[in-house]
Structure 1
Amino acid sequence: MTAILADIGGTNTRVALADGRQVRPDSIAKYSNAEFDGLEPILARYMAEAGLTAVEGACVAAAGPVMNGVAEMTNLRWVIDRALLNRATGASKVAILNDLQAQGQALGHIAPEFLRPVVEGKAVPNASMLVVGLGTGVNAAPVHNTPWGRVVPPSECGHTSMPVRDARDLALAQFINGYGDHAHGFAGVEDALAGRGFEHVHAFVTAEAGAPQARSSAEIMAALSAGDPMAREAARLYVHILGATLGDLALTHLPYGGIFLIGGMARALTPWMGEFGLKAALCDKGRFHDFLTAFPVWVVEDDFAALTGCASYLANGGIG
């Protein structure tokens, strides 16, 4: 089956063709979402440029909740449904996944060179896994292998409460409650760990030091690479909150097959996760400290994993 695939993030959309489970590497194209008013014109342009009038299957991964075959983007004002995919691609077999579901479907199909270990451990074969997205938004989804196939239930856990372990965490949460254009009186995980979350953490650290600064995440990353003390402290606090969040998720889902971090923020901060104590923060759960050492963590460095997951899902008979 020839299928068209789309991975729709908050900023960009990647589109590709697949033959069964195999994504065609030379077919991948990237589009800036800001230049389009929805997914349909992107697919129309891609189909025209590829010289296609129809394909057999279509599957998209959307960064937002999916219910009854309809995706509403969390950080983008787009709505995607089956009728849109049928109309834009001519496909009779269509599927719409949450982006984390697509990433979960890709696990096991990612080449080892694209997996960077950040917390050492031994994964249990065929055990449950957890995929965590850190980018424009934040989300996580468990991945369960069953005798009837792989199950990756949808989730929007990036909007649960930011973990608070001590007085400084509480001060950060209270700061986030009212800071910036996205303030909504609640400090969720995404408000601390998304790209804008890193900006919130840096603003808190600089305000705490008596010299408040408002910087973009790209500017903070550049300062971090240059050894700037405030950027380093912001990264240290970010990694602390990330570890606490992963520890909560590990206790909830028991991912003995491993935890897989995806997204731009995960990849950008990979060099500092060990230095700033990711494993210590993950395991900081009192009497469950030793129990939590059982869960290895990798950063996925494959830009096209969601497309692979979409292809795998369709090839395995997934629809909806």
Structure 2
Amino acid sequence: MTALPHPDHADALVADIGGTNTRVGLAAGPTLLPETIRRFRNAEYPGLEHVLRAYVGEHGAFACKAASVAIAGPVRDGRGTLTNLDWTIDRETLAAATGADFTAVLNDLQAQGHALGRIAAENLHQVVEGAEPAPNASQLVIGVGTGFNVAPVHNAGEARLVAPSEAGHGNLPISNEAELRLCRYIEKAHGFAAVEEVLSGRGLERVYAWLGEEAGDPRSASAAEIMDRMGKDGHPRSAETVAIFVRMLGRVAGNQALDHLPFGGVFLAGGVARAMAPYFGRFGFIEAFRDKGRFTEFMGQFGVWVIEDDYAALIGSAAHLDRLARAV
């Protein structure tokens, strides 16, 4: 295998660990070096430390001053476990695998929050207009992909706090009889109708299957098949599935905006969010986002963007390490 380039000015290692793949790269201060990024298939390794050692081994000995990983799962006290993969990582293991003097373990949405302000403008697509943000205004990242989660971003000059959460496992909000039947369908199969059971890739598949049962024509389809049919011929059941998804996403995102007041903007991340964005206008995302009774006009202050940069979590991890280094 050809060794990756190792720029002399690189001083940090960053990694983004999902349920299927791990991306690893190097950074120079807060700047991610895209030419150093490599993707690893998690199924080929027994644990994250083995992935990191494989990456470091390709470079030979090099000075890794700091390392940060972003994982798709909850993190507490520098230790995190992936939600959809039986891997656990902590700061001590990360230091042993990389030789780094300073380490950090983040939830993947936290890393996306740390990337705000460093993502190229061409990789941010605005889908809802809002008021001009004030300096240091709070922001909110909402991740919609394999799972669902949010991360509020609080700014104070050079300092930034990105709080973790597990918002995807709260109750799904419902507003009509059909949605109540959807919730009961999910409860029957999974015991609890959480937000993530609809607003995720597998959630899209569940909505499609539920519509089949409602119509007396039960059948299943993968998330990729549903979106492919939408793009080709507007398949009626796929269209209805996407419409339900888009409206529910708008409602949940609006609820989260009221919880966190992100006057600096709401940022949607993840492959499913990107796939849904072309249908926001058609299926009423903005209306669902702003439909908050007496606070409907108030909701007009929040702009919404879709993050279209696959490396945002790596960018955020590098930025986070740099902020921590400058604060010491």
Question: TM-score per shorter chain, which class?
Answer: over 0.9
Any idea what the Cα deviations from partners look like across 1:161-207, whole Å, max 9, x if unmatched? 1111111111111111123xxx2x10111110111011111111222
For 1:256-271, list aligned pairs within 5 A: 256-271=263-278
Aligned-partner Cα distance in 2 for 1:192–1:144: 28
Amino acid in structure 2 at the alignment position of 1:223: R
Cα pair 2:11 2:63 within 8 Å, conserved? no
Aligned-partner Cα distance in 1 for 2:158–2:120: 25
Aligned-partner Cα distance in 2 for 1:34–1:136: 16
Select the residue among 89, 95, 102 that pairs with 2:111. 102
Confirm or deny that 1:136 pairs with 2:136: no
Cα pair 1:53 1:90 within 8 Å, conserved? no
Aligned-partner Cα distance in 2 for 1:123–1:203: 41
Partner residue in 1 for 2:42: 33
Confirm or deny that 1:204 pairs with 2:210: yes
Confirm or deny that 1:295 pairs with 2:298: no
Partner residue in 1 for 2:178: 168
Q: CA deviation at 1:208?
A: 1.5
4+ residue segments displaced more than 2 Å? 50-54
Q: CA deviation at 1:11?
A: 1.8
Select the residue among 219, 222, 225 that pairs with 2:228. 222
Q: TM-score, normalised by structure 2?
A: 0.93
Aligned-partner Cα distance in 1 for 2:293–2:177: 17
Q: CA deviation at 1:128?
A: 0.5
Greater displacement, 59-68 / 31-40 = 31-40
Select the residue among 168, 171, 192 that pairs with 1:186. 192
Aligned-partner Cα distance in 1 for 2:308–2:86: 28
Aligned-partner Cα distance in 2 for 1:290–1:214: 40
- Ranges in structure 1 where 5+ consecutive residues have no aligned partner: none
Partner residue in 1 for 2:316: 309
RMSD of aligned alpha carbons: 1.4
Q: CA deviation at 1:2?
A: 0.4
Q: CA deviation at 1:53?
A: 5.1
Select the residue among 17, 20, 34 that pairs with 1:8. 17
Aligned-partner Cα distance in 2 for 1:52–1:210: 63
| % identical aligned pairs | 50
Q: TM-score, normalised by structure 1?
A: 0.95
Amino acid in structure 1 at the alignment position of 2:274: R
For 1:243-254, list aligned pairs within 5 A: 243-254=250-261
SS of 2:291's equivalent? coil
Q: CA deviation at 1:54?
A: 4.9
Partner residue in 1 for 2:219: 213
Aligned-partner Cα distance in 2 for 1:275–1:50: 49
- Ranges in structure 2 where 5+ consecutive residues have no aligned partner: 1-9
Between the two proteins, the alignment pairs up a number of residues equal to 315
Amino acid in structure 1 at the alignment position of 2:307: V
